[in-house]
Amino acid sequence: MEENKFDEILEFKEIPAERAILVGLETESAGPVIEGKTEGERTLDELEELAKTAGIEVAGKLLQKRPSKDPAYYIGRGKLEELGQLCKNMNVETIIFDDELSGAQIRNIEEAIDVKVVDRTTLILDIFAQRARSREGKIQVELAQLRYRLPRLIGMGGKLSRLGGGIGTRGPGEKKLETDRRHIKRRISYLQNQLKEVKRQRELIRDTRVKNEFLTVALVGYTNAGKSTLMNKLCGSDVFVEDKLFATLDPTARKLTFHNDSVNSGLSNNGLQDNKIEGQSTTEPILIIDTVGFIRKLPTELIEAFKSTLEEAVYADLLIHVVDVSDPEYEEHIAVVNEILYSLGAGNKPRILALNKIDCLGPHERIPLKNSFGEKRREVYEISAKTGQGMDELVKGIKKILASKKVQLDLLIPYNVGWALPYIYENGTILEKEFDERGTKVKVLIEDKKAHKIKEFVIQK
């Protein structure tokens, strides 16, 4: 019998992770010290998390304190020489800076110490390139990368021809000829047209929601605050969850069904309270939309490219701002999210502040429930999306705000109009009902966007 030629055991070797040194700069205008760490140290820690998310092995971190950034090298020339020697000693070929660098700064640093230079924006764009799954997400990421790359060609020219992989080489690719400005501009124009088509499709979906009279609630917040976990808890869904920055990139929508109980409000099929009212409809479906997380120093190219996605927050009826209160910097994270929401035009939307991950706090670390944190006139709730703690109160808060979008109407429904009363039972609440010779008189509570169909029956006073 002939011996099987395919029984040979092959040895596979893992490709070693790219190693990098992280570099930060702290100026005299630095923020407060939190838990013994300065703002520069905290942002450098966040950069480390970003690097790990991108699959980078962090070999070391370096933080320089100086009055201002060096226009040529970002850090001081002496510190740069020290950094170059450190890279040689540790056999590191990549440096990641905790800020956005100009093309000239990238070129100067690479020429001075002969290493690959990556800035914070390139790292974030690289993570987005890894995480993008939908056609829209891939287009948005590539567009953001090319827009960022275009003005930096003169500074990155020596490194763009490399095809070896690593940070900054994912997404659209970096073949030598494709780095020419003319080719990049042509590609940007093509992607913009593609994105316009995708945006039209998204607008059609949004118009369908309006036509079907769905109320929408958008989950917003700092990255890794627990938005996807909260969506899964509310809707009984299985949206992807991972303890990493930017685990969710493409927006996800799930239907949530309320029960029409004004005293004991709850949700169906998710382990929370389940109360029903005899004799009338018990469901008030809304859409929960999970959006991409925010982060400090979020690249402007990403905000511009993801504008159609981020518009989900602009058009939502209610925002739930999810905050990880187990993070010592939660107040700064709230400020970052507020700033981005206002820049998008969603700053004045009705909003709930959901203080998440309270199960991670000790008994003496509880965050006081108060309308503070720069969130005036906001409802604030302590919750744990993981354990379900505080979820019933959050649900009541959602219903309370959405109920404020309802109107009370006195109607006279003629007996020969057979569709009106079933429509009211399905979409609203009948408070009073009586009959006379002209038809059925009812006092109803109904969402404003659903009231237009029955406005013709309003009793004129």
CATH number of the domain that residue 106 is part of: 3.40.50.11060
Same domain? 419 vs 399: no
Distance of CA 130 to the CA centre of its chain: 16
In tens, the pLDDT along 47-102 reads 999 999 888 999 999 999 998 899 999 999 999 999 999 999 999 989 999 999 98
Could you tell me if 429 and 392 lie in one domain?
no
Average pLDDT (106-134) is 89
The verdict on 415 and 287 lying in the same domain is no
d(CA 130, CA 402): 37
Question: Is residue 153 one of the residues assigned to a domain?
Answer: no
Residue 248 lies in a domain: yes
Name 449's Cβ contacts closer than 8 Å, sequence gap at least 6: 210, 213, 215, 405
Q: How far is residue 389's CA from residue 404's CA, in Å, rounded to a whole number?
A: 25
Whether residues 117 and 244 fall in one domain: no
53 and 77 both lie in a single domain: yes
**Is residue 342 one of the residues assigned to a domain?**
yes
pLDDT of residue 360: 87
Q: Check residue 159 and give its pLDDT.
A: 47
In this structure, how many other beta carbons lie within 10 angstroms of the beta carbon of residue 70? Answer: 16
Question: Is 159 within a domain?
Answer: no
Please tell me the predicted confidence (pLDDT) of residue 205: 75
The answer to whether the CB of 221 falls within 8 A of the CB of 322 is yes
Q: Which of 376, 403, 430 is the last residue of a domain?
A: 403
Alpha carbon distance 208, 260 (integer Å): 24
Q: How many Å apart are CA 415 and CA 413, to the nearest integer?
A: 6
295 confidence band (pLDDT: 50, 70, 90): confident
Task: Note whether 355 and 445 are same-domain residues.
Answer: no
Evaluate whether residue 168 is within a structural domain.
no
Q: Say if residue 390 is in the same domain as residue 446.
A: no
Q: How far is 49 from 199, CA to CA, in rounded Å?
A: 32
Mean pLDDT across the stretch 157-182?
Answer: 55
User: Cβ distance 354 to 381 under 8 Å?
Assistant: yes
Note whether residue 164 is domain-resident: no
Number of independent structural domains in the chain? 3
| Encoded tokens for 374 | 């720069």
Q: What is the CATH classification number for the domain harbouring 297?
A: 3.40.50.300
Same domain, residue pair 357 and 280 = yes
**Is residue 321 within 8 Å of residue 334, measured between CB atoms?**
yes
Helix 103-113 and helix 153-160, axial crossing angle in degrees, nearest 10: 40
One domain, residues 219 and 114: no
Beta-strand ranges (E) seen in 112-183 are 116-119
* Residue 107 belongs to a domain: yes
pLDDT in tens, 188-239: 999 989 888 887 877 777 777 665 667 889 999 998 888 889 988 888 877 7
Domain boundary among 81, 115, 131: 131
The range of the structural domain enclosing residue 423 comes to 406-457
Q: What's the predicted TM-score (pTM) here?
A: 0.74
The more confident residue out of 296 and 373 is 296
Same domain for 63 and 28, yes or no, is yes
Q: Of 131, 163, 186, which marks where a domain is finished?
A: 131
Query: Which pLDDT score, from 0 to 100, does residue 246 have?
Result: 72
- Looking at the structure, do residues 119 and 230 belong to the same domain, yes or no? no
The radius of gyration of the chain from alpha carbons, rounded to an integer in Å, stands at 27
127, 50: one domain: yes
Least confident of 71-85, 201-215, 399-413, 439-453: 201-215
CA distance 149 to 64: 27
Percent of the chain residues topping a pLDDT of 90: 25
Does residue 94 belong to any structural domain of this protein?
A: yes
Residue type, 10: L
- Can you list the alpha helix ranges (DSSP code H) found in 150-277? 153-160, 181-211, 227-235
